[in-house]
Structure 1
Amino acid sequence: MTTHENSFASSYREKLKHIQDMTPIDQPLISWDGHRGRSPREYLKPPVMPYGLNAAQWQNNLTGTQDVTHYRPTPEIPPIRPDAPTMVLLFYPRPDQGDARPIHQSASYLKRIERIAQMGEQTIIYVPPELRETIRAMRPDPYWYIVDQYATVWDIPTNDYQRDNFANKQPRLFAEFDGYTDADGELKPVDRYNRAHHSAVCNAKAFIMYDAIMRNPFGCDRWMYVDAGFLFDDGPKDSDGMIWGDLIKSGLDEAKFDRAISVSRDTGVVMGEYSHRDGQPDINDECWTNPRRTWRSRQFIANVYVGNSLGILNYSVRFMQTVDDMDANGFYTGREEFVVAFVALRYPNSLFSIPWFPLPRRLDYRWQFPGKLVFSRIGGPGSVPPIFDPISTLYVRGRFPSRPPLYPGGIYHATFEDLREWEVRHGLTKPEEGRAMEML
């Protein structure tokens, strides 16, 4: 480790001692000596009159003005049930004909959207106008709320200035990555991340959560963002042979949302999940200061995240500010997994996470991610996943987290213990490393 890297790690640890719940977006704990990026204040304008006083006040605080002086006090659509969460997803098929999801061959991808429609939850889905009728036909009720205001991902405000960046600058940065050595294990950049349209979709996720909360047609305060590929075509089958049948039939559990929100509160989100299967760069790693090694920061599978309205808003704006700052300082931002780790470190208490663990046998499948199941009613209200502060469990050894971890229960307790035993047996978990597994 170089002197500069050692100084960086020591400085970060010292700053962590004084951190409170909310870090202003202009004062992140990790910044660089280069240029500041543009601010989300420049492009985050409410699409409609915001719902709720809290959202309107948040917008005023963000902009430092009184542009938003009014708000809607009642929902546009009465909620589907008391305290129901709202799912939000983004579906913009990629235009390149040879890609996995071209618009003229998207039957498989549309099937995944249809499975989410069949869950029957109140949902906000963002689609291009030409897909509106196709998506509407999946579910005619008002709780399948379609936004087609943005014709392409390039029309989404986080991306409308980024076309040249994602098409030219970011691919150059990707090509400059180095360090493909045996010491890096299986954690390597993946070529398919290096595509402009893919980068724009990843960058849009934080914006549409902001946008959805400003619209908030159901008057919701429990939110769940999901990737459009959330329910893959290969998944566990129920007793009737239906793929994902148990999950679709079970729906979402409000109590499990409340449990996650009790940790993330108004400052951030709970994300499912970070992986113990790849390398885990700690705060001493050069990826935090060397743009050519940024790819080593890849840690999170940004498949699902949940929070209340203010938590999602605060996470989203911090993600957007981090992308803009990384871009201004020559860091690759083309995939959210390369960005989320920086968000966690730059803005402590904005991100809490569910570690990867094997699912119970009847729910296991090839592309399983625990985040797909842990907020469902499967297993009952006592079957809950572990939730941790990733800084204390991954990045800064010996740090005492400001909010204690939540331990697993029910069907998740047994599988989490199985993973802990597997890691110990294979020498992947050691007490001195302070990993999440050793906190139980």
Structure 2
Amino acid sequence: MSSGESTHGESSQATSYREKLNNIGDITPLSAPLISWGGQRGRSPREYLEDYKTSCKLPFGYEVATWRQIFLGDKKWTLPFSFRTEPEIKPLGPDAPTIVLLFYPRPDEQDARPIHRSESYLRRIERIAKMGEQTIIYVPPELKDVVKGMRDDPHWYVIDEYPTIWDMPNNAYQKDNFATKQPALFEQFDGYTDADGDLKPEPRYNRAHHSAVCNAKAFIMYDAIMRNPFGTDYWMYVDAGFLFDDGPKDDEGTAWGELFRAGLDVGKFERAICVSRDTGVVMGEYSHRHGYPDAEDECFANPRRSWRARQFIAQVYVGNSLGMLNYSVRFMQTVDDMDASGFYTGREELVVPFVALRYPNTVFSVPYFRLPPRLDYPWQFPMKFVFSAVGGRESVPPIVDPIATLYCKGKGYTPRRPNLRAGGIYEGAEDELKEEARLP
């Protein structure tokens, strides 16, 4: 077993985590993770990403091409190797970010968003189209025309090369696993007694198609960056349900009008990337009314209790090209390793906490807090707003290292990158968070 790995069940587990967390630096894409289970590894993303078909033969830019050479294990990663230097489509601006999302309506009729009732869901996509940002959207072929028709310009880039969610490389070999093994693991959860309070496993997560959708999010970010038609280095992944029908309304009564008319703020992307750098992403975090697991919680060692790991909502996350690539392959490797070790992987917030601890300096977070009244509503996730121009350039959210603020709080862990304070319409967020004992 390598020095970067740790087995569970040891009496010194907690101490071992803290020591290793304090002595690990930025890591290569798939180096030995901090948490493993007896050294058990699943299939490597290298195996299914090396030869997957894409319309883009060459990656954009020297840094991404070099990263790909190292990731695929090519020792001869010095020049010459091929990469594109010119974007396929002239970008909206020199630092314009690109939004990436996928829309594959789930086929089961009992789901909240079945394909036969997708009109409401398509309205959400239309709102994103109206934002006018550089956007790459993945859809099944039968929806390409209706989605492409929402906006008539080259910066609305629709990809329909994957007919179903199962045709994406990281899902193709997972189909039987997600359809048989994962539901069985869900049924084995130990968490339905009163001792766990109101926080219990979510039955709506127990669906093969749901597992595949969550897993696909990591792949499409990898794929989008390799295609990179706009030559961008700033990225935002958003869920297709990002702009719910029930949201804050502007003076004209339009849901989310203030947000999609304001557009994205490049300065706020720069601020987040200065923390996450080339190794990871910044995503939204939501708190539990009943607490949250720390690095010593049994959920990270006991598959029957892993549902307790639920901590992040990956509805939106941002980063630069290398940060997104590192997050994507670490997420995919974590899913593969969890599968091989008997852990349930049916929802991204059951996987992201493992990614955060297994690969430090990968996940940074915007803590959950209330927005000003005009922007607030019951399903209020701050990530809908924090990278928009709403509130002006000085309206910025707090950004923290979740290992320091959640998983090892008060236990001697020193973050390598400073927490960023809030400003503008987000001022006062730290006071609210301190009351919950969430920030030092």
One-letter amino acid of the structure 1 residue matched with residue 274 of structure 2: S
One-letter amino acid of the structure 2 residue matched with residue 26 of structure 1: S
State the match for 1:414 in structure 2. Answer: 428
Contact 1:5 1:289 in 2 (8 A): no
Alignment of 1:247-258 (within 5 A): 247-258=259-270
Worse-matched range after superposition: 206-215 or 276-285: 276-285
* Number of residue pairs the alignment of both structures matches: 424
Deviation at 1:401, TM superposition (A): 0.5
Instruction: Measure, in 1, the Cα distance between the counterparts of 2:38 and 2:21.
Output: 20
Task: Name which of 143, 148, 167 aligns with 1:136.
Answer: 148
State the match for 1:43 in structure 2. Answer: 48
Instruction: Measure, in 2, the Cα distance between the counterparts of 1:91 and 1:222.
Output: 21
Deviation at 1:19, TM superposition (A): 0.6
Instruction: Measure, in 2, the Cα distance between the counterparts of 1:35 and 1:420.
Output: 38
Deviation at 1:14, TM superposition (A): 1.3
Deviation at 1:22, TM superposition (A): 1.7
Secondary structure at the residue paired with 1:352? strand
Matched, 1:11 2:47: no
Alignment of 1:33-432 (within 5 A): 33=38, 35-45=40-50, 47=54, 48=56, 49-65=58-74, 69-397=81-409, 398-417=412-431, 419-420=432-433, 424=435, 428-429=436-437
Name stretches of at least 5 consecutive residues in structure 1 with no aligned partner.
Answer: 430-434
Deviation at 1:5, TM superposition (A): 5.6
TM-score normalised to structure 2 length: 0.93
Worse-matched range after superposition: 88-97 or 220-229: 88-97
Instruction: Measure, in 2, the Cα distance between the counterparts of 1:308 and 1:22.
Output: 16
Secondary structure at the residue paired with 1:43? helix
Contact 2:44 2:333 in 1 (8 A): yes
Deviation at 1:276, TM superposition (A): 4.8
Worse-matched range after superposition: 5-14 or 188-197: 5-14
Instruction: Measure, in 2, the Cα distance between the counterparts of 1:186 and 1:382.
Output: 38
Contact 2:22 2:414 in 1 (8 A): no
Gap change, CA 1:361 and 1:305, over 3 Å in 2: same
Instruction: Measure, in 2, the Cα distance between the counterparts of 1:225 and 1:187.
Output: 28
Deviation at 1:16, TM superposition (A): 1.4
Instruction: Measure, in 2, the Cα distance between the counterparts of 1:363 and 1:17.
Output: 39
Worse-matched range after superposition: 39-48 or 362-371: 39-48
One-letter amino acid of the structure 2 residue matched with residue 136 of structure 1: K
Worse-matched range after superposition: 5-14 or 322-331: 5-14
Secondary structure at the residue paired with 1:367? coil
Deviation at 1:99, TM superposition (A): 1.9
Gap change, CA 1:24 and 1:210, over 3 Å in 2: closer
Deviation at 1:316, TM superposition (A): 0.6
Contact 1:184 1:279 in 2 (8 A): no
Gap change, CA 1:140 and 1:300, over 3 Å in 2: same
State the match for 2:5 in structure 1. Answer: none
Task: Name which of 13, 32, 38 aligns with 2:37.
Answer: 32
Instruction: Measure, in 2, the Cα distance between the counterparts of 1:420 and 1:267.
Output: 26
Instruction: Measure, in 2, the Cα distance between the counterparts of 1:359 and 1:5.
Output: 43
One-letter amino acid of the structure 2 residue matched with residue 219 of structure 1: G
Contact 1:274 1:353 in 2 (8 A): no
State the match for 1:432 in structure 2. Answer: none
Name stretches of at least 5 consecutive residues in structure 2 with no aligned partner.
Answer: 1-7
TM-score normalised to structure 1 length: 0.93
Instruction: Measure, in 2, the Cα distance between the counterparts of 1:149 and 1:346.
Output: 32
Instruction: Measure, in 2, the Cα distance between the counterparts of 1:58 and 1:7.
Output: 35
Identity %: 68
Secondary structure at the residue paired with 2:171? coil
Instruction: Measure, in 1, the Cα distance between the counterparts of 2:204 and 2:280.
Output: 29
Contact 1:5 1:284 in 2 (8 A): no
Worse-matched range after superposition: 205-214 or 67-76: 67-76
Contact 2:29 2:329 in 1 (8 A): no
Instruction: Measure, in 1, the Cα distance between the counterparts of 2:28 and 2:66.
Output: 17
Deviation at 1:44, TM superposition (A): 1.3
Deviation at 1:35, TM superposition (A): 2.7
Deviation at 1:180, TM superposition (A): 2.7
Deviation at 1:264, TM superposition (A): 0.2
Gap change, CA 1:343 and 1:113, over 3 Å in 2: same
Deviation at 1:82, TM superposition (A): 2.2
Secondary structure at the residue paired with 1:293? helix
Instruction: Measure, in 2, the Cα distance between the counterparts of 1:393 and 1:181.
Output: 29
Instruction: Measure, in 1, the Cα distance between the counterparts of 2:227 and 2:241.
Output: 24
Instruction: Measure, in 1, the Cα distance between the counterparts of 2:167 and 2:264.
Output: 32
Deviation at 1:34, TM superposition (A): 5.5
Deviation at 1:380, TM superposition (A): 0.5
One-letter amino acid of the structure 1 residue matched with residue 16 of structure 2: S
Deviation at 1:284, TM superposition (A): 1.8
One-letter amino acid of the structure 2 residue matched with residue 409 of structure 1: G
Instruction: Measure, in 2, the Cα distance between the counterparts of 1:276 and 1:191.
Output: 18
Deviation at 1:161, TM superposition (A): 0.6
Aligned-pair RMSD on alpha carbons? 1.6
Contact 1:251 1:376 in 2 (8 A): yes
Instruction: Measure, in 2, the Cα distance between the counterparts of 1:381 and 1:183.
Output: 46
Contact 2:191 2:201 in 1 (8 A): no
State the match for 2:4 in structure 1. Answer: none
Contact 1:101 1:109 in 2 (8 A): yes
